[in-house]
Amino acid sequence: MKARFLLIKVLCKPLLRVLFRPRVEGIEHVPGSGPVILAGNHLTFIDSVVLPIVSRRQVFFIGKDEYVTGRGLKGRLMAWFFTGVGMVPVDRDGSHGGVAALMTGRRILEEGRVFAIYPEGTRSPDGRLYRGRTGIARMALMTGAPVVPFALIGTDRVQPTGKGMPRLGPGRHITVRFGEPLDFSRYEGMDRDRYVLRAVTDEVMSEVRELSGQEYVDMYATKARAAGVAGRGSAEGRGDAKAA
């Protein structure tokens, strides 16, 4: 898998640079070895392609198993690509999907690798930053891995919600910004305390908000989507000033 990841990176990084001129800030905050949790916002599908390509270390993340179960040539190519960039397929729709994702992330971290997670649990329906789910906190406290917050800026302009192919043209620039590692060792052994889990999660999301410049909404993104808020947000003004 590592060889495949390097091949994909060699092929895709120059293309990404030419098309979207990505700016990477704070990459030095990601430790060069040992387990690391990357926690950030989630705007669109290509986030999970951009992040591994700009990272110095191979990044693993949970993805829907439907991305690797397709048939025919297209299905095989998708499986080859997504598993190559670090996606670990998990059936998240079942009743035990959350537990499976948590245990998969824990295993990856115990192997000393980098695991990326979107605490919102799903893509933002309108470009704002939504309340984080506490799985990120539980994983951090169970493994002792540092949490490096990150922000993706501009990926929703490159690939707006509902659009299959990325858009090209002026203004389609991407910024990936990493913050300083967060250490939660003070909460060791408290991974079952729901108040501690919420406090840790909220601290992570506060750092992500500072990095992204997004408006924060104290509601789960899934509930917001069900309430029909999609389309209310605007790409203008969400972290653009910080990215310029």
What does 37-104 look like in DSSP terms, one character per residue? EEEE---STTHHHHHHHH-SS-EEEEEEGGGS---HHHHHHHHHHHHHTTEEEE--SSTTHHHHHHHH
Residue 1 has pLDDT above 60, yes or no: yes
pLDDT digits (tens, 9 = 90+) for 163-206: 666 666 656 789 999 999 999 999 999 999 999 999 999 999 99
Q: Does 19 map to a domain?
A: no
Residue of 86, 95, 137, 96 whose CA lies nearest to 116: 86
The more confidently predicted of residues 103 and 240 is 103
The answer to whether residue 134 sits within a structural domain is yes
**Domain total in the chain:** 1
Residue 236 lies in a domain: no
- Residue 238 pLDDT greater than 70, yes or no: no
Asked if the structure places residue 20 within a domain, the reply is no
- Is the model more confident about 20 or about 211? 211
Residues of the chain with pLDDT > 70: what percent? Answer: 86
Domain assignment present for 28: no
Q: Which residue has the higher pLDDT, 94 or 14?
A: 14
Q: Is residue 240 part of a domain?
A: no
Quote the domain boundaries for residue 170. Answer: 2-14+34-231
Give a yes or no: residue 241 inside a domain.
no
pLDDT value for 34: 97
Whole-prediction pTM value?
Answer: 0.86
The answer to whether residue 241 scores a pLDDT higher than 70 is: no
Q: What is the C-alpha separation between 204 and 99, in angstroms, rounded?
A: 21
Q: State residue 164's pLDDT score.
A: 63
Residue whose C-alpha is closest to residue 114's, from 59, 62, 63:
59
The whole-chain average pLDDT of the chain stands at: 86
pLDDT for 170 equals 59
| pLDDT per position as a tens digit, 117-142 | 999 999 999 999 999 999 999 999 99
Examine residue 72 and state whether it is found in any structural domain, yes or no: yes
pLDDT class for 213, splitting at 50, 70, 90? very high
